Structures are given as C-alpha cells and as structure tokens.
Amino acid sequence: MDELTGLPEWEADSVPLAPRARAAARARLLEAIDHETRHSARSGLSRRLVLRGAFIGVAAAAAGVTVALTRDGDDASTPNLTTLSAAQLLRKAADTTRADRGRLPIPRDDQYFYTRTYIERTYRKGGRRRTWTDESWMSVDGSKPSSRQEYGKVHHDPPLGPHEVASPPTVYSELKKWPTDPDELLALFRRDMPDSPLRDMTTFSDVCLLMEGPRVMPPGLQSAAFEALAEIRGVRIDKDEVDVLGRHGIAVSQPGSQFAFLFDRDTYAYLGTRVRGGFTTKVVDGEWRKTNVYDETRSLQQIAVVDRIGQRP
C-alpha cells in the first residue's frame, strides 16, 4: 500500500476530515516522511515502520487524538503505536493521581500546607517573559492566619470566619466535604445550568480554577476532577506543550475556555495548567478585545505539611 493512500483508508473508519484539515494532514505527512526517512538511516528502523509511525502521527493529530509510543512486551525493537482521545487521557491521569496520593501525610487541623508554585508568563507581542516562584502556608482548617504569594506579592490572610468559604475552597477542611464521585462532582460544578456549550466551557474553566492556586487536594478529589472533565463535550488534545520547568507534555483543553491542563507524555502525571489571558480590553472594529495578551503555565511543584508559617520541608 502506498503511504499517501493510507490517509483515505484510515479516514473511512474514523471521523471524516474537513478539506482544510485533510490538506494540512497530507502536507505534514510528506514533511514527516522526509524527516523520518532520513532519521531511519541513522536509527536502523525499517522504512515501513518509520512511515507507518509518521502516517499515524499526522492522521491522529488531524483528528484530535494523541499518539502514545509503547513497546511490544520486552522487545525494545518492536514499537506499538496506540492512540488516545482526550477523555481516555484524562482517565489515565486520574489513575496516576490515585496511585500517587500516598506521598502526602494526612494533616492535623492545626497544621499548615506548604506549597511552592512555579509560574512563567510569556507575552505574545514582543515575547517578553516573566517568572515567579510563589510560596504559601495555608492553614489546614482555616482557623489560623495564612500566608500566600500571588505573582511574588505576599498576602497575609486572617483566620476564616464561620461562614467565610471561597468557591472553589482553598481550605483543606472545606475541600474534604466535596464529592469524590465524578458524576456528583460534575453535577456540583454544573450547578443546574441548562445544557449548552456555555455550560461545558464554564464547567471546564471552573475545574481549572479548582486546580490553580495554593490548595491541596484531599484523597480522591483530584482524580474525580479529571474523570469529571472526561465527560465534558468537546475536550480535546492540543499540540505538544512545555511547562515552566521545561517538561514536554500534552495539553487538554476545551473550545472557548482560556484554560488547559498539562500532563506528562509518558506517565500521564498532572504537570500543571496553562492559561491564555490579557490585562485590559479595547474596542477594535466595534468589538472588545484583550491587549497585553499572554500565555502562562503554572506548576504546583512541592507540597508538604508543616507546623508553622515560614517553616520549609
């Protein structure tokens, strides 16, 4: 079979490609074939295997899925190509999160969560880049003062009053009250909103807001959030993303939302979030548009339980 004729054969068993997407996929396939054929001479892979990998990678990108390269048993010379949808990737991320939760001890109410978050913001106009390392000490039950940083600025938060609960909460004792069943959590985020694309976009953004900031997830909540996201229509896989620490990952986004989640390509571990934003708006051709537009990645890199503000692990 000629590799270029494989595109219509593959398309026959999947979602049809729009003409523009089809043309783009074909162009990318030709480019990938040229690159991978030259690479195969150095790596020793057969031309057939290289072209098959290039074809599947380009076709999958056009259809909104990602290609994961795995090995066939213990034989490192026989790669096996599989495709994952955004929903499947989110469920794998949920499984990884569950397996990783044993590292953090269950805190006492009188203790603090210490978090260190790395942030990088790149402005689209001019490419100017800024970075921050934010440290925070959050009272576990909210009964003590907390200290948190946002973009380098320190905020001293007083103890919470009896009815002072942020949405989504930052206090661990409040987050423990949230459901860890994905369907119940999804219903909580949707808040009885009517079924519409706006509901999907708002729900996706709200889950991203839950994951941002100096908050620590009780066991089961983060994995439930990923499984809830998998049920939202329109979730998709973006191109390769690089986070603030230089790690290459996969982004999962939703049309209309300015947020995205970043996951490790191999382990599906949660790396952080990406946001596209801007500071002010101005009227252009009768429409309000953002200026000073930027791309920002955020990674909650270190979490620990400590006894007082200022203590580090």
- Look up tokens 């469920």; give the residue: 91
Q: How far apart are CA 160 and CA 245, in angstroms?
A: 34
Q: What three-state secondary structure class fits 10?
A: helix
- Which stretch of DSSP H or E encloses residue 76? strand 75-84
Least confident piece of the model among 72-76, 213-217, 236-240, 249-253: 72-76
3-state secondary structure at position 152: coil
Report, as an integer, the average pLDDT of 109-132.
Answer: 92
Contact 33, 6 (CB under 8 A): no
Helix, strand, coil tally for the chain in percent (to 5): 35, 30, 35
The string of pLDDT tens digits covering residues 157-174 is: 998 876 565 677 878 888
Name the most confidently modeled range: 189-193, 224-228, 301-305: 224-228
Order of strands across the sheet that contains 294-306? 153-157, 146-150, 129-139, 112-123, 294-306, 270-277, 259-264, 248-253, 236-242
- pLDDT for the residue numbered 106: 81
Let me know: does 259 contact 204? Beta carbons within 8 Å.
yes
For the range 35-44, what are the long-range contacts, defined as Cβ-Cβ under 8 Å and sequence gap of 24 or more? none
The residue ranking higher by pLDDT, 6 or 168, is 168
Percent of the chain with pLDDT over 70: 67
